[in-house]
Structure 1
Amino acid sequence: MPVISARSAAPTAAPYTPEPDALLRQDPEMAELIFGELRRQSDSLQLIAAENFTSPAVLAALGSPLANKYAEGYPGARHHGGCELVDAAERIAVRRARALFGAEHANVQPHSGSAAVLAAYAALLRPGDTVLAMGLRQGGHLTHGSTANFSGRWFDFVGYGVDVESGLIDYARVRNLARAHRPKAIVCGSISYPRHIDHAAFREIADEVGAYLIVDAAHPIGLVAGGAAPNPVPYADVVCATTHKVLRGPRGGMVLCGAELAERVDRAVFPFTQGGAQMHTIAAKAVAFGEAATPAFTAYAHQVVANARVLADALDAEGFDITTDGTDTHLITADPAPLGMDGRAVRGRLAAAGIVLDICVLPHLEGRGIRLGTAAVTTQGMSEAEMARIAVLITSALREDADGARRVRSEVRELTERFPPYMRVKRGE
């Protein structure tokens, strides 16, 4: 029977033991895919900045009978009966989120980070309002004005960017754009900005033009929880975030705000943009918030940043052009052009060697770069020495021929065997 249990270095010591027999009997095709994905995650280096390994306890909550419960509405005001226990679960999640981030109000129902941003816009804006946000080519998210997304279709977005030479946000330019366009809201946040954002500066600009300040903290919120990044809550009218990534919870979103906007935010989530809450996911969020409040998570968050800085320096030494000359966070963006390749080619070559990362748009450059993150490998227990080795493996995979790439793949397996995210799948009686 396949059994999965947590490594001692994993987020919690509790085992995750799924019930594989029923799935194997009922749907062996899907069972094989699920265990195949576990093997893929375990046998390759996961350097995607938006991904992590949840704890066994989070996985257990996700696979719990709470998945069966329809809980449309909010605790104490549901549209279905039998919600007493899931009401308690949601209240726990809200209480833990508020305490973790120092927020007066938390809504933990958004199904994703995009859903959280949609709710923030719905609470504060009306179609046609002007919004100032980071431009998509500068590192903005789809919800920051892409015409393929609801944001770009419903609102009039103006994009700000980064300084050409430093790659850092040009706050003077942000102020000038705000004065010129008088936006209803200013959004700060990025999917590929590796430095801390000056929330106080954004607050000052927003106040000057009478705009709401929305912080999209999808990437750094886990670092905030661990004290490794500045907390945007004291400065923002609304903070939108995901609960996965560095926070190491289930895939989902949340919205944090002050008491004066609580009702507007709640009504924007339900009934305006979503229906029934996913109670198994909310319970898993509560578990993750509890884990993030521990000293062990604080140490983890700081190690994530330390690992990212070492990896950035090592990649720079190997010839990559590191944007902003480094990182303050879990993510790194780099231009591989000095190695004679673009991001797409790098991603393909590294995938063949068992190294998984993203491509991204780099400001002011025609080609695409790469985006790496250290959250997942840090969860596995890797530290600075492993980051230096990973940089060598990356460049070796790009410079070697097919035989060399196979050797790199073998070294990747050796590394992941030393630092598995979960105990290996064991088959037996």
Structure 2
Amino acid sequence: MYPNVRSSDPEVFHSLQGEYERQRDKIELIASENFTSLAVMEAQGSVLTNKYAEGYPGRRYYGGCEWVDVTENLAIDRLKKLFGAEYANVQPHSGSGANMAVYFTYLQHGDTVLGMDLSHGGHLTHGSPVNFSGMFYNFVGYGLDKETGRIDYNVVEDLARQHKPKMITVGASAYSREIDFKAFREIADKVGAFLLADIAHPAGLIAKGRLQSPVPYCDVVTSTTHKTLRGPRGGLIIMGKNYENPFGKVAPKSGRTKLMGELIDSMVMPGIQGGPLMHVIAGKAVAFGECLTDAFDAYTKQVISNAKALCDEMLKMDYQVISGGTDNHLMLIDLRNRNVTGKQAEIALDASGITCNKNAVPYDTQSPLVTSGIRLGAAAMTSRGMMEDDMRHIARLIDRVVTNHGNEDVYKAVKEDVKHFCRKFELYPSLNASADEIGRRVGESVDDALESVSKTVESVVDEVKGIFRKD
């Protein structure tokens, strides 16, 4: 694995090797993480790392961009096809950057925006006071119904009518139910608001039609490219239609009204970014190509089925799942009936070989650094080939740890079980450089070599015998 790093910088290689072994030997349930293909990682580590390419395809500020133009156009075209979009920008370095570009394009400092409260499953960029979104704009938060754990669209409409937001931001980082973008469009139209959908989490599921698409209903859509899209870490912006901007902005020479895509492009670069990360865009192009395949369609179907299996098993063991179920790849577990905090559960599970994150639950009584819940996702382990029964097994492992919170012997036993369980589902076997694996490969190589030598000796002996027969 990574022989050049190994020889030139053993310290960095040591950290890479340790991270590989962590990913290989642990159950990954963080809902925002996934395992890319080797092709995506290869593209991201390619020669495109060396290229500066400020601007856009055909409109660069640097020379020598003919091949990075090809790469970026592939990413753009594939993304448009994937979501049925007329406009796409693949340059944002992150989902947060994509949201920033949209806000800066559509809003003025101090404008009112309606978004899901972070403590109810929203995202930092949906108005958290510690984030630029909450600092620059007047965000009004909507939450989940206390009884159902779901969005109450009537309450959202009441808030919209009361506060008259310039924009409504739709999306979440810990909401397990399908979002009705059509209903949000109707609410936005009643108050004259722009509608932004941030689909960072369910993007891959939406792309394959497993959940309702926001593209026909929203003015603009943002997402990350990792999570359920299973690409490199980055962001994107798309629009179903590239329409004329309503702000009166025109092209300086012709006086033509600029399209919204032009305004967004200018805000991404040079507005908030400089040079795009062309090696990451190459990884995005590869991932979007993978997303267009039947295999990825089957993957998204399995992700949802696996999430439901994990969720149902947790419910059977009397865990409180917010909203009572899941429609997507994740679920939020309220642990208050287990007398364990989210922080305690996260630490205990990590010690047992199961990685997840503590997460606030609606109407939480704990601080954000402690929380009362954990968030679980099925996307990553589905990428490793796990099925419904495997997810049920994971649920029982979680219960074993949580039920025996504080018991180090249980943690140790579960960790060993997890390691053997995970080894059934290989992760990048060609990168595996563990002692056991190297030993196995060396053994195979030695056996092959001995067999080759044996055959060569037999051949030489036969040849010598033939010579003596002739004599």
SS in structure 2 of the partner of residue 259 of structure 1: coil
State how many pairs are aligned: 411
Kindly, what percent of the aligned residue pairs are identical? 49
Q: In the alignment, what sits opposite 2:188?
A: 206
Asked which structure has the greater RCO (Cα within 8 Å, sep 6+), the reply is: 1
Tell me what 1:298 maps to: 297
**Secondary structure of 1:241's partner?**
strand
| 2:46 is equivalent to residue 51 of structure 1 | no
Which digits, 9 at most, give the CA deviation of each residue in 1:192-243, with x for residues without a partner? 1100100000000111111100001010101112222111111110101000
SS at match of 2:88: strand
1:30 partnered with 2:12: yes
In the TM superposition, what are the counterparts of 1:80-119 in structure 2 within 5 Å?
80-119=62-101
State the alpha-carbon separation in 1 of the partners of residues 278 and 228 from structure 2.
22
Give, in angstroms, the shift of residue 279 of structure 1: 0.4
Question: How far off its partner does 1:410 sit?
Answer: 1.2
Matched, 1:259 2:263: no
In structure 1, how many angstroms separate the alpha carbons of the residues matched to 2:353 and 2:113? 41
Structure 1 contact 194–329 (Cα < 8 Å) conserved: yes
- Equivalence for 2:162: 180
| 8 Å Cα contact 1:226/1:299 also seen in 2 | no
- SS of residue matched to 1:412: helix
8 Å CA contact retained: 1:353, 1:406: yes
Q: Which moved more, 1:228-237 or 1:97-106?
A: 228-237
Matched, 1:236 2:209: no
Does the C-alpha gap of structure 1 residues 62 and 123 become closer, same or farther in structure 2, counting only changes over 3 Å? same
- Letter of the 1:259 partner, please give it: N
Distance 2:186 2:93 in 1: 31
1:5-404 equivalences under 5 Å are 20-257=2-239, 258-260=241-243, 261-367=260-366, 368-400=372-404, 401-404=407-410
The answer to whether the Cα contact below 8 Å between 1:242 and 1:253 also exists between their aligned partners in 2 is yes
Question: Which one has the largest radius of gyration?
Answer: 2
| Aligned-residue offset at 1:399 | 2.6
Secondary structure in 1 aligned to 2:97?
Answer: helix
**1:233-289 Cα shifts (integer Å, max 9, x gaps):** 111101010000011000000000121221111111111011100001001001000
Q: Shift of the alpha carbon at 1:404?
A: 2.0
Instruction: State the alpha-carbon separation in 2 of the partners of residues 119 and 223 from structure 1.
Output: 24
Q: Using the TM superposition, give the Cα deviation of residue 35 of structure 1 relative to its aligned residue in structure 2, in angstroms.
A: 1.1
Structure 2 residues not aligned, in runs of 5+: 244-259, 367-371, 443-471
Q: Displacement of 1:376 after TM fit?
A: 0.4
* One-letter amino acid matched to 1:263: E
Q: Is the 8 A contact 1:226 1:300 kept in 2?
A: no
Q: CA RMSD in A?
A: 1.1
Aligned-partner Cα distance in 2 for 1:307–1:76: 44
Partner Cα distance (1:56, 1:264) in 2: 35
3-state SS of paired residue (1:233): coil
Kept in 2: contact 1:50–1:245 (CA 8 A) = yes
State TM-score, norm by structure 2. 0.86
SS of the aligned residue for 1:316 comes to: helix
The aligned amino acid for 1:193 is Y
CA distance in 2, matches of 1:317, 1:220: 25
Unaligned runs of 5+ in 1: 3-19
